[in-house]
Structure 1
Amino acid sequence: MKKFFGYSIHEGICSGQVAVLKNDEYRLNFSSIEEEELKLENAISRLRTKLTSLLDSLRKKDLKNINILQINLMILEDRDLINEIKSHIRNEKSLLDSLNKVSKKYFEDTSSRNYTNFLDVCRSILDEVVDRKIDYSALNNKIVVTDNLHVTQLLEFADQGISIKGLVLISGSRNSHLAIVIKSLGIPSITGVDIPISFSSDNCYAILDSRVGFENIILNPSDEVKTFYLAILEKSMSDSKRLDYFRDKEAITKNNEKVNLGASLVSTTKLEKIEGIYFDELGLMRTEFLFAGRDIFPNQDEQLEVLKSVLPYFEGKCVNIRLFDLGSEKYLYNLPISQLDESSLGIRGTRFLLNNTNLLKSQLKAILRFSYFINVTVVYPFVTNLSEIIQMNKILEKCKEELASDNFKFDEEIKVGCLIETPASAVMSDQIIDLVDKVMLGVNDLTQHTLACSRFNINLEYMYDFFDSSVFRLIKKTLDNANDKGKSAIVCGEICNSEIGVAALLILGARSIATSWNYSSKIKKLISKIDLTNTEEIRNYIINSGSAETNKSIISMFLNDMP
């Protein structure tokens, strides 16, 4: 029996036979510059056809997150990338060597959010060049261990009906586009696992436990371990059958405290999934999806029509709408805006909006007009200081004046919120709260900025962890400041989709969280089992331990002690 540890991508437990998918070594000699460039163009043409066909097929199957293939198709048209590959060819390097060099560059340069897209495209082109064939059927109903899986392959599995029980990645970010697709497919998975890819998987049985705090794969487990996990799986199956009970229920703790549970939406394409689920509000509605596949920004009327699509699902409730925060996702939105850069610390969020006031005013006016139909909070993204909020509030007031002069109806008392995503805004939250009606804590960004490590950098997987005591301290500080001022504080991010994460937030004092619709029943069930009457000792411990791993262990023990 051998046990290997990693980092959780998607939580779950599974068992079964192991299959190994490894990166084969290929060698192609240089022929001539003209022939190598022709091979490249032919490979790109085949890949373009393949991705287009795959995208069409997946759309018919109504799978989530397939827009990642659209990004890859856009990158195939990126002449800078193609010219970079050709520049290596012109130095008399084979196409294979050239692709490997460019892939290596993107593998090592993890400062950009888009590096995973470029890496995926380079690997996909390489597969076309060598005509790589994989017997996907050999992976069906297996736990797959791999050092070379990219998004396109995983979506091909889904398209062909290949069911993967679990995934063990030798390397890869928990926040990459591959991870996003893994989560949407619901595959228990871990990454950063130091397991020898050369091991023989013949007749190898394994148990994968990707729950946060466990995060391991056990090869050829003992009968005792098998029995232990069989009991957990049986209990899990029994619990999952009872989840429907919580679908239309409020989130109430065991000691009868109400927890405000909001829906987290990244687009309006799956709104029907929310029907029948009880949410107290639309906790956070992102608006970047409005740009997908567009070369220009949607106008005010177009935005309003999209916003109105949420009305039937949140009648009589509050809708919290985050303004555009494009970050560095240029390839997702295909926007001709020079200020966008490749850094999560660059011109983004409120900084970007204040530099593009026409866009900002168009969106503010659309949201103001929407406020005539429902209770709305407009949320300023990626705020760093008081000055930004003051400027945004002034522009909001100007938009109100202009709409009034044009005889448009809107809520003149529309509420304002801002996202706390930087240590600066968390530290200043006591004063920021005086300028807004509510705050939202964006824990994904807050974590990477507090710990000074990109959540997209695979070399820093061990550092990016929202269970770190420094992150917990900033969360608690912001929650306390909001509570002292009688203002609402809503927590958002991946932490809100994790049972151990939600438990930590409740212990820290959170009473409003935004979670995805597909996690809502599980989170409500968890909340119903938690007693918060005596949590001061554990709260003080986790903000002072200085160790994310220790915090996860302590919170896991807290949950395990619940009946």
Structure 2
Amino acid sequence: MEFRGIGVSSGIVIGKVFRLEKITYDIKPNWVRDTEVDEEVARFLKAIHTSKEQLLSIRKKIESLADTAQLQIIDAHLLILDDQMLVNETVEYIKRHRLSAEWSLKRVLDKIGEQFDKMGDAYLKERKDDLSHIGNRIFNNLFGYGHTNLADLKEDVIVVAHDLSPADTAQMRKERVIGFVTEIGSKTSHTAIMAHSLEIPAVVGVTGIYDAVTTGESLIVDGIDGIVHVSPPQPTFIAYLNKQRRYKYYERELLKMKDLPAITTDQKKVTLLANIEFIGEVKSVLERGGEGIGLYRTEFLYMNRFYPPTEAEHFRVYKSLAEQLSSYPSIIRTLDLGGDKFISQLDVYEELNPVLGLRAIRLCLEHIDLFKTQLRAILKASHYGKLKIMYPMISGLDELREANAVLKEVMDELRKANIPFDEEIEVGIMIEIPSAAITSDILAEEADFFSIGTNDLIQYSIAIDRVNKNVSYLYEPLHPAILRLIARVIESGHAKGILVGMCGEMASDPKYTLLLLGLGLDQYSTNSDALLKIKKIIRSVSYAEAREIAQQALTYCSASETEKFITNLMEERFPDVFCYFGDGDED
């Protein structure tokens, strides 16, 4: 039986199923007597306390074994349990309506969940899952249910679940959990992040898989193509053994290039950096030959909480990043989300079109204290390594100057307090709005570097919502307008002597590597999995040849024509990169 989902961590694993029990809750509006209200409140607060103790116990148990990413997710969930909005509103609901703790908590969680549903950002929508996991833990304790401990597994298994909570994934050990499959999730869900962190094959979004398997059953997980085979027949089993062997061989060959420079045959050097969300990902980046971090998304620090992180919290993370990367650069992007979406204490009204509203640098310039807290922490941490600052969603020179004025204020404050920081810290901007791309020659006068954010640049240029399935077919990286904007930004940056990188998804796709190289891109900031594939391509060609390819691509009048040209060229030139593992269904 074959199932398809989303491969979120490459690799192929063959093993036995461990089916993680799915608990369902039958929660109804049960009334409590007036004399029992205080007792019901106490029962709820006890469930909160027990939930905290369980997570703290898990954290203590895994602290010496887990990476930073796992610990950060546990810490974020502990913060939710400490959040007064969640706790106080549930208590108030119990008292006001004389209803059970279970029903009151459900109503409060539903209310918060509705706020998440209104978000335009796919990453933020999926943080609703994290809230649900915390709710489920509290419900378990209210109902008196037990908790499965994946740390106690005695044999190698592939975990199959409806979903995996951060507490579940944090307890996974690579020595026992060799892969996992979930019914829900996406490339940006916490399960995907954990799969990358653990470096085990995983497929998420596999509808119906939970009811189709039993513990002990044979399973094949293809994290490359997002395929899962339940009780595979012998021909499929043999085919996947061969596919697994080919994939491992290819990975070993790629790793041989880890310490080689990303340089063309005619000596054009480019820099390969990586995009990360968690400090724990740094190890994987370095193991794959990354030369630094081209985009550190700081949004995770603000997620799963109703109050902004403190300067100390920011500083600890940025200092760790600086120290781990040593002499390699790390570009920290300042907050790139909308305040109404995740920090309830900010007075931000609901917007009809949040994608075009008060978000990113606009939010920071509206809430200067929030902005200065983050900038102070970055500057203080810059004393410990090579950090850079990058502003998102800059639309023009006035915004850049306003942001830099705030930065200067923070620098002056640190100097007066005799707090050391990198006085020469570089400050760049993301080019992700058409107005910024068109005026990139002006912005290059006052920015230290550019990083092209293709995800939003494509969305804003073609006027599509990239998470709207009805118009997703219009999301075209090779649209002539996009290529011309990219070419213009690179040309403008080079004319003023500044480096131009790219941190959008386009940079992570090896299919576009030669095209971007030919357009003159200086830095690729990619998913860590793509680093070695892109290096292999760059080391296989001359810059002169790449320029010819880019010029040819710019002559086409439609995205489909350019797509056909690029796809055929890359698959013909680099069959090992695009077709290296073969089809698992073939003998």
**Which range, TM-score by smaller chain?**
0.7 to 0.9
* Alpha carbons 1:9, 1:179 under 8 Å: kept: yes
Kindly tell me: are residues 27 and 285 of structure 1, through their superposed partners in 2, closer, same or farther at Cα, counting changes over 3 Å? closer
- The equivalent of 2:205 in structure 1 is 192
Range with bigger deviation, 417-426 or 84-93: 84-93
- The equivalent of 1:171 in structure 2 is 184
Q: How does 1:289-438 map to 2 (within 5 A)?
A: 297-298=310-311, 310=322, 315=327, 320-325=331-336, 327-328=338-339, 338=347, 347-357=358-368, 378-393=389-404, 415-422=426-433, 424-426=435-437, 428-429=439-440, 431-438=442-449
Residue among 148, 153, 161 paired with 1:134 = 148
Cα distance in 2 for partners of 1:140, 1:539 equals 55
Kindly tell me: are residues 234 and 278 of structure 1, through their superposed partners in 2, closer, same or farther at Cα, counting changes over 3 Å? closer
Give the match's secondary structure for 2:401. helix
Residue among 207, 213, 231 paired with 2:242 = 231
Kindly state the Cα deviation for residue 561 of structure 1 after the two structures are TM-superposed. 6.0
- The equivalent of 1:8 in structure 2 is 7
Q: What TM-score results when the alignment is normalised by the length of structure 1?
A: 0.75
Q: Is structure 2 residue 134 aligned with structure 1 residue 121?
A: yes
Kindly state the Cα deviation for residue 462 of structure 1 after the two structures are TM-superposed. 9.1
Kindly tell me: are residues 152 and 392 of structure 1, through their superposed partners in 2, closer, same or farther at Cα, counting changes over 3 Å? same
- The equivalent of 2:476 in structure 1 is 469
- The equivalent of 2:583 in structure 1 is none
- The equivalent of 1:60 in structure 2 is 64
Q: Is structure 2 residue 519 aligned with structure 1 residue 514?
A: no
* Alpha carbons 1:446, 1:471 under 8 Å: kept: no
Cα distance in 1 for partners of 2:555, 2:157 equals 43
Give the match's secondary structure for 2:194. helix
Cα distance in 1 for partners of 2:66, 2:564 equals 38
Residue among 39, 46, 55 paired with 1:42 = 46
Kindly tell me: are residues 68 and 188 of structure 1, through their superposed partners in 2, closer, same or farther at Cα, counting changes over 3 Å? same
Kindly state the Cα deviation for residue 231 of structure 1 after the two structures are TM-superposed. 2.4
* Alpha carbons 2:162, 2:184 under 8 Å: kept: yes
Kindly state the Cα deviation for residue 480 of structure 1 after the two structures are TM-superposed. 0.4
Kindly tell me: are residues 225 and 328 of structure 1, through their superposed partners in 2, closer, same or farther at Cα, counting changes over 3 Å? farther
- The equivalent of 1:69 in structure 2 is 74
* Alpha carbons 1:291, 1:298 under 8 Å: kept: no
Give the match's secondary structure for 1:246. coil
**Paired residues, what number?**
548
* Alpha carbons 1:341, 1:347 under 8 Å: kept: no
Cα distance in 1 for partners of 2:458, 2:165 equals 26
Q: Is structure 2 residue 560 aligned with structure 1 residue 545?
A: yes
- The equivalent of 1:489 in structure 2 is 500
Cα distance in 1 for partners of 2:301, 2:333 equals 12
Q: Percent identity?
A: 25
Kindly tell me: are residues 208 and 478 of structure 1, through their superposed partners in 2, closer, same or farther at Cα, counting changes over 3 Å? farther
- The equivalent of 2:161 in structure 1 is 146
Q: How does 1:260-271 map to 2 (within 5 A)?
A: 260-264=271-275
Q: Is structure 2 residue 445 aligned with structure 1 residue 440?
A: no
Give the match's secondary structure for 1:23. coil
Give the match's secondary structure for 1:382. coil
Kindly state the Cα deviation for residue 440 of structure 1 after the two structures are TM-superposed. 0.8
* Alpha carbons 1:443, 1:492 under 8 Å: kept: yes
- The equivalent of 1:32 in structure 2 is 32
- The equivalent of 1:110 in structure 2 is 117
Give the match's secondary structure for 1:229. helix
Cα distance in 2 for partners of 1:415, 1:45 equals 45
Range with bigger deviation, 265-274 or 6-15: 265-274
Kindly state the Cα deviation for residue 48 of structure 1 after the two structures are TM-superposed. 0.8
Letter in 2 for 1:74: L
Kindly tell me: are residues 207 and 368 of structure 1, through their superposed partners in 2, closer, same or farther at Cα, counting changes over 3 Å? closer
Kindly tell me: are residues 552 and 404 of structure 1, through their superposed partners in 2, closer, same or farther at Cα, counting changes over 3 Å? same
Kindly state the Cα deviation for residue 122 of structure 1 after the two structures are TM-superposed. 0.9
* Alpha carbons 1:468, 1:551 under 8 Å: kept: no
Range with bigger deviation, 282-291 or 68-77: 282-291
How well do the aligned residues superpose, as a CA RMSD in angstroms? 5.1
Cα distance in 2 for partners of 1:369, 1:28 equals 49
Cα distance in 2 for partners of 1:126, 1:469 equals 44
* Alpha carbons 1:491, 1:513 under 8 Å: kept: yes
Kindly state the Cα deviation for residue 263 of structure 1 after the two structures are TM-superposed. 5.0
- The equivalent of 2:86 in structure 1 is 81
Cα distance in 2 for partners of 1:546, 1:106 equals 46
* Alpha carbons 2:310, 2:373 under 8 Å: kept: no
Kindly state the Cα deviation for residue 49 of structure 1 after the two structures are TM-superposed. 0.5
- The equivalent of 1:157 in structure 2 is 172
Kindly state the Cα deviation for residue 477 of structure 1 after the two structures are TM-superposed. 3.7
Kindly tell me: are residues 145 and 407 of structure 1, through their superposed partners in 2, closer, same or farther at Cα, counting changes over 3 Å? closer
Cα distance in 2 for partners of 1:51, 1:205 equals 32
Structure 1 unaligned blocks of 5 or more: none
Give the match's secondary structure for 1:143. strand
Give the match's secondary structure for 1:207. strand
* Alpha carbons 1:447, 1:471 under 8 Å: kept: no
* Alpha carbons 2:428, 2:447 under 8 Å: kept: yes
* Alpha carbons 1:208, 1:218 under 8 Å: kept: yes
Cα distance in 1 for partners of 2:187, 2:488 equals 31
